[in-house]
Amino acid sequence: MIHFVRVFAYVLLFIFSVILMALCAVRLHYTLHLSPSDPLNGGVRFYDHIVVELLVTSILTMFWSIFIARTIHGRHEHRRMNTFTAELVGLFILFLLWLIGAAVATHTSNPPDVDVLWGNLSSCWVYSTCRILTTLLAFAWLGWLLVLALFVMSLLFAIANKAFHDPMHGRWDRRATNYGGDHSMRNIVR
C-alpha cells in the first residue's frame, strides 16, 4: 500500500511542478516583455532571480518525479541509482531547492522590508500579475511540503526495514533480487 501512496505523491509532485513551471514562465514572459508604459519597474524589462530558481527547481523535480515513479511502479533495480539512499539524497537536494525558492519568494513579497520586489500581494489581487505571483508562491510552498512528506515517508520506510541500500521500490524478495543479501541464495525457491 505504501508503494501506491509514494507513486501517487510523486505524480502529484509532478503536477505541482508543471503548474509552478507554467506560472514561472508566465511571470518571466511578463517581466521580460514589459511595455515602456507599464508602471512596473518604470517599464524597464527585468527578471526575478527567484522565479528563475523556481523554474529550474520545477523542471528538475519533473524529471526526478518521472524517474522515481517509474522506478517504484516498474520495480527497476540498479545497484546505486535505484536505492533508498539515492532517493533520499535526491529528495534532500530538492527539499533545499524548494525551501530556498519558497522562502526567498515569500521574503520578496513580505511588506516590512524596504527592498521588497513584489510588495504586499494581498492588496493587489485585482491585477492578474499579482494573482499569478500569489499562486506561484502557494505552489512553491505546496511543492516543498510534498517533497518534505516524501522525504519523511521514504526515510521512515528505509529505517523501519533497514533498506537504505535496497531497491527503492521497496518490494523485494532478498533471495530473488539482483543485489540484495547473499548471492548464493538468489532465486532459490522453498
pLDDT in tens, 130-187: 888 999 999 999 999 999 999 999 898 888 878 776 666 555 544 444 444 444 434 4
Round to whole Å and give the CA distance between 68 and 108.
32
Task: Name the burial class of residue 38, with classes exposed (0-12), middle (13-18) and buried (19+) by CB atoms within 10 angstroms of its CB.
Answer: middle
pTM across the whole model: 0.78
Residue pair 43/37 in contact by the 8 Å Cβ criterion: yes
For residue 114, what pLDDT is reported? Answer: 40
Give the tens place of pLDDT for each residue, 72-87. Answer: 776 555 565 667 788 8
- Show me where the domains of the chain are located: 2-185
Give yes or no for a contact between 24 and 136, defined as CB atoms under 8 angstroms apart: yes
Average pLDDT over residues 28-39: 79
**Sequence-distant (≥ 6) Cβ neighbours of residue 183 within 8 angstroms:** none
Distance CA 155, CA 30 (A): 40
Higher pLDDT, 127 or 95: 95
> What would the grid cell of residue 89 be?
539524497
Region 8-29 average pLDDT: 95
